[in-house]
Amino acid sequence: MDEFAFIDSIKQTKYRHASVIKGIGDDAAVFRENYQDVVTAVDTFVENVHFSRKTMAPFHIGYRVLAANISDMAAMGATPKSYLISIVVPKDWTDEELQEIYQGMNQIAKEYRLDLIGGDTVSGNELVVSVTINGAVEKNKARYRSHVRAGDVLFVTGTLGDSAAGLAVLLREEFSEFTNKDYLLSRHRQPTPRVEFAKGLAEIDRVALNDISDGIASEANELAKASNITIHVEKDKLPKHEALEQFPQEDQLEFLLNGGEDFELVGTVSEENWEKAKEIAKKTKTSITKIGYATDVNTTNGHVFLYTNGEKELLKPSGYTHRN
Amino acid sequence: MDEFAFIDSIKQTKYRHASVIKGIGDDAAVFRENYQDVVTAVDTFVENVHFSRKTMAPFHIGYRVLAANISDMAAMGATPKSYLISIVVPKDWTDEELQEIYQGMNQIAKEYRLDLIGGDTVSGNELVVSVTINGAVEKNKARYRSHVRAGDVLFVTGTLGDSAAGLAVLLREEFSEFTNKDYLLSRHRQPTPRVEFAKGLAEIDRVALNDISDGIASEANELAKASNITIHVEKDKLPKHEALEQFPQEDQLEFLLNGGEDFELVGTVSEENWEKAKEIAKKTKTSITKIGYATDVNTTNGHVFLYTNGEKELLKPSGYTHRN
């Protein structure tokens, strides 16, 4: 299929947002946000680096690529609205597989009301899917990593490590007969960005937010560094799905702390706003757990500490990173 | 170099546009266009498909990738403002080469006042550079391919085929001793998107525009198709740099009609606005040439005709496309 046929096949006939003035079909797309700030991010996924056809069907690849981008919008408190796809397609990928990637994106785009407004499809030797997402947020209301303050409650949404556990089930023979496989696989392949909860937080004036793409250890360190503050995490409070219990202790800990791509949110609010945050979580059907707090101590600012039965250790940002 | 070190090394300390609220450093970038429409496009370049290290230094690769995106903004009548880079880096590319790609982008970003606001750097087996650009245009003033009307003057900026001729000099032994090599190579490696001219056209109410990335044959056909109109091109009027004269006639014609990546503009204005368009070209130091006109004939709409000494033939959109 040539580029034009591919673009025609995925072109939306109707856009979900009135802000889209011109979608696919010219040199560029045009959209309008009169009263809001535009939030934008790009994420790139490479076959055999970020995913493998052994563990993900093309549909899941598409779904998860866009999920990662949507999660970036949630982490900014923004409403995701439109996206542009860039795909490098190798010869050994069939048109059907390519279509399935798109169908995966289209599925999550429908769920989160996104419009596909542009793209570029080119040939290459290795599948690369890169998505640029655009969202909107009330003026000056984007949520930054630098907004943590002393005394804040540190929280996460959902449960941690599920995606990494799902991947382990797929890759490691000894886990292949575990129960709750469907749950773990779906968490790995079709994560749920926490957009509604993040938007609900608009009621609260100051919120620091980060999404968990590289594991809580890494993300908490980003918050501590960006806010120049000290963050304290209590290990026993890290929210864990019962499906994780069947893994060896060591793996459980690795999944919980460094398991990437859960696309949950980690953030902080002031102590006084914690009750409100819990109400918003309830209203948006999102589980939320207090896992620690922030302090302002000159000598330790920029660092994260992990507590296990009263024992304190430095938690390094040795999160899940793709090194090849 | 890991992703974070790379991003740190290219991070701007100061943004050129007040519209940038948050650049690199969080889950996403934030910008604001209160009174204008946002224009956005993505372009993806793959080593050995779109460029080769044999014919382009890393600096030129960076320069030209961003030039292509800037040209898309010009084709919309928009002011380019910010961009996001996604790079897939293979092991055999050194950090220095990677830096040079960035320096090439940075060079043209400075020339056109663009801000780098985001990016993603990942590992892979093949170099892929994908750039998403954001620009701004007065509300409802984006220039579309569909705006050609009967009686319009068809024009192009600059000269055609220079980039293709430059590439031929690099690839074909028989042309390697040609004169004007520096000119042709610079047109191939560092094209000049026509942003100032396109912005100047704002004085004119209706303008159809397209940028020449795939050759005039292809782009004129896009205008004819999008506007459902008939376009007539006079071959002898196609603007040609004297450096092209030394190539065989057949090559000259191929370069002129199908030579890609000149990043000149092709467009139409009404007959009565043609003088004004010429003034704007003069003011913005852009050469502009009338190469044909448009008519509305039911049976031929959507097609382009080429005239050579009174002989008429169908000009097919057999433009330069990257097929591998």
B214 labeled part of a ligand binding site: yes
Interchain CB distance below 8 Å, A29 and B39 = yes
| Whether A260 contacts A323, CB under 8 Å | no
A209: tokens are: 């937010």
CA dihedral A122, A124, A126, A132 (to 10 degrees): -30
Please tell me the distance in Å from A96's CA to the nearest CA on chain B. 19
Please tell me the distance in Å from B269's CA to the nearest CA on chain A. 18
Average pLDDT of the residues in A19-40? 95
Max CA distance (Å), chain B: 62
Give the list of residues 6+ apart from residue B266 with CB closer than 8 angstroms, or none.
B154, B155, B156, B209, B210, B211, B212, B216, B219, B220, B223
Judged against a pLDDT cut of 80, whether residue B319 lies above it is answered with no
Band of residue B2 on the pLDDT scale cut at 50, 70, 90: low
Judged against a pLDDT cut of 50, whether residue B249 lies above it is answered with yes
**Could you give the CA distance from residue A279 to residue A79 in angstroms, rounded to a whole number?**
20
Q: What would the pLDDT profile of B75-122 be if each residue is shown by its tens digit?
A: 999 999 999 999 999 999 999 999 999 999 999 999 999 999 999 889
| pLDDT score at A10 | 73
A213: tokens are: 């793409």
User: Given A73, A78, A120, which is nearest B43 (Cβ)?
Assistant: A120
Any idea which of A28-32, B198-202, B310-314 has the lowest mean pLDDT?
A: B310-314
Task: Name the residue of chain B whose CA is nearest to A87's CA.
Answer: B44
Domains and CATH numbers, chain B: 3-138 (3.30.1330.10), 145-314 (3.90.650.10)
Interchain CB distance below 8 Å, B28 and A322 = no
The mean pLDDT value of chain B amounts to 94
Write the CA distances from B21 to A289, B111, B233, integer angstroms: 31, 22, 46
Assign B174 to helix, strand or coil: helix
Contact residues on chain B for A40, CB-CB shorter than 8 A: 28-31, 84, 117-118, 132, 134
User: Given B27, B44, B122, which is nearest A86 (Cβ)?
Assistant: B44
| Whether B75 contacts B89, CB under 8 Å | no
Judged against a pLDDT cut of 50, whether residue B8 lies above it is answered with yes
Judged against a pLDDT cut of 50, whether residue B289 lies above it is answered with yes
A vs B, Cβ pairs < 8 A, gives 211
B92: tokens are: 């055999």
Q: What would the pLDDT profile of B125-162 be if each residue is shown by its tens digit?
A: 999 999 999 999 999 999 999 999 999 999 999 999 99
| pLDDT score at A13 | 85
| Whether A168 contacts A247, CB under 8 Å | yes
Ramachandran area for residue A109 (φ above 0: left; ψ -120 to 50: alpha; else beta):
alpha
Percent of chain A with pLDDT over 90: 89
B314: tokens are: 């169908």
B157: which strand partners?
B288
